[in-house]
Structure 1
């Protein structure tokens, strides 16, 4: 018994933390959704899914707007929990830093698509504390972009009751960015919020900092914008799954909309999204549709023989 407890000490502590948070009804600074959804899972079920030592990997068929046309590509969403230092805002990797870390849910979103002869690769990471009243805000977002003209990087860190933005880029207007934005909701964190508890998504008229991927593709500086948000039942037939919900975001002053479609029942898997805005002279809708999902400790599968797992993920079979 002692060996079992020692071996699974971190999992036990994390499970107890989640149980405590649910018992205290811990919330973040948001408006309560008035849309009914299936009952949330018991804390033990939540812990069993998210603290089992595996990540959730999902692949999507992608059509991405750029240069006034829709370009075919692929997208991958990775959700995984990890210990995250609140002081340096990086992953805790040593025993000495454990007391400075809290459990977070991390999103990794990867989009790859080709534009004519050359390709784009975009990567966003988002780190959101899990039901932690002491740290209710998403702590960090980082996005990198690579294409044949050059590459760029932008990062937001939660500091001094707001977000500090730092950016570097090949492009002249973004070459060296350093500015602050007021604390408010981040579009990039909403993917994590869906997975943690969609009933706590903000609905109605809110201030929202647009997604870093969209900002980089459109060469826009980050700033809070007025957004109209709505959570309701998805009534279309394009996306796979049952009891689907749709979270819709509209930016009236930016002529951009985003819809994230997800399963209404735990674990609220994201089955696709649509993003509409003007690209050159055309108003286009980028779209991603789920192909397949698997759970894996992917960091332990980096040998050539493990390429079969990658093939299974990306092929959708």
Structure 2
């Protein structure tokens, strides 16, 4: 009888540890994931960018920085001291995507930040987009709260002004992070998606969810492609990635079909990948590292 009780106690203890401990989403292998992403470095990907703006293709540079962070689910900000946050501390995959290019005499700078939970089957907690150029600034922030995105949009255009919205849908921008977790997390078929915030700023389409068709295409060898088609917007997004962990992003393409049938194609092709704790390298002596990353000064 005593042995039976001991076995039961051991079982219950093991179950409680398993139930209370962090578990990845389905399809995310924790040991493999932690070995790559929890080594105290960020993955910095530099891309050659061909960005269509005002009907012309502009050469530029895009940078995708992927890194894991401790995040406050309640405050929806990076935690200063995760050990003091208790259950509010959540691990996220953070994407910072920048685009830099020139239109005529003046420069464009965009930045997108996406915070996607690693251990919760939820939409990305927070998505932020900014566009700055000599005409002015635009800024959009979406926070996932109470089963919908609370959206705040600020723009220098009179027709858009400042807006507050509520959208209950998944976001296109988190697809990059979901690919990095495991492409199998992205279901194929019909979906309702909020288009990419950078695209929304450039096109000035209404910020809401649209019907999208999601599919995947095997490109052979070591890569696959995620295809997101928006019939109403006449727009297609293609993201090429490696088939196997850590599912690196190799390229992406945005195809916009105009009313006359002509296509405008924005595309980015990866030039380099480096692992770096860049936040510890902010002194002037580290500036030569930009050459190693493939970024011009």
> TM-score scaled to structure 2, two decimals?
0.88
For residues 230 and 67 of structure 2, the distance between their equivalents in structure 1, rounded to whole angstroms, comes to 29
CA contact (8 A) 1:127 1:140 kept: yes
- Indicate the residue corresponding to 1:232 in structure 2: 217
For residues 87 and 233 of structure 2, the distance between their equivalents in structure 1, rounded to whole angstroms, comes to 42
For residues 149 and 17 of structure 1, the distance between their equivalents in structure 2, rounded to whole angstroms, comes to 53
Q: Does 1:266 align with 2:260?
A: no
For residues 273 and 19 of structure 1, the distance between their equivalents in structure 2, rounded to whole angstroms, comes to 36
Shift in Å, 1:46: 1.0
For residues 269 and 56 of structure 1, the distance between their equivalents in structure 2, rounded to whole angstroms, comes to 10
Q: Does 1:219 align with 2:204?
A: yes
For residues 31 and 113 of structure 2, the distance between their equivalents in structure 1, rounded to whole angstroms, comes to 27
- Indicate the residue corresponding to 2:135 in structure 1: 149
Q: Kindly indicate whether structure 1 or structure 2 has the higher relative contact order, using CA contacts under 8 Å at least 6 residues apart.
A: 1
- Indicate the residue corresponding to 2:267 in structure 1: 287
Q: Does 1:70 align with 2:57?
A: yes
Q: Which runs of 4+ in 1 moved over 4 A?
A: 16-20, 278-282
- Indicate the residue corresponding to 2:282 in structure 1: 302
Q: CA RMSD in A?
A: 2.1
Shift in Å, 1:280: 9.6
For residues 48 and 227 of structure 1, the distance between their equivalents in structure 2, rounded to whole angstroms, comes to 35
Distance 1:147 1:18, change over 3 A: farther
Shift in Å, 1:144: 0.5
Distance 1:271 1:49, change over 3 A: same
Aligned residues: 277
Distance 1:18 1:288, change over 3 A: farther
CA contact (8 A) 2:28 2:181 kept: no
Q: Secondary structure at the match of 1:47?
A: helix
1:117-136 matched pairs, under 5 angstroms:
117-133=105-121, 136=122
- Indicate the residue corresponding to 2:8 in structure 1: none
Task: List per-residue Cα deviations over 1:42-91 (Å, max 9, x = no partner).
Answer: 42221011111110000000000110011110000000000000111000
1:166-205 matched pairs, under 5 angstroms:
166-182=152-168, 184-205=169-190
Task: List per-residue Cα deviations over 1:124-160 (Å, max 9, x = no partner).
Answer: 0000000324xx2211100000011101100000112
1:59-138 matched pairs, under 5 angstroms:
59-94=46-81, 95-133=83-121, 136-138=122-124
Question: Which deviates more, 65-74 or 95-104?
Answer: 95-104
- Indicate the residue corresponding to 1:207 in structure 2: 192
Shift in Å, 1:98: 4.7
Unpaired stretches in structure 1, ≥5 consecutive residues: 1-15, 28-39, 236-241
Question: Which deviates more, 148-157 or 281-290?
Answer: 281-290
For residues 41 and 220 of structure 1, the distance between their equivalents in structure 2, rounded to whole angstroms, comes to 35
For residues 52 and 18 of structure 1, the distance between their equivalents in structure 2, rounded to whole angstroms, comes to 24
For residues 276 and 87 of structure 2, the distance between their equivalents in structure 1, rounded to whole angstroms, comes to 27
Aligned mate of 2:23, from 21, 25, 30? 21
Unpaired stretches in structure 2, ≥5 consecutive residues: 1-17
- Indicate the residue corresponding to 1:36 in structure 2: none
Distance 1:56 1:18, change over 3 A: farther
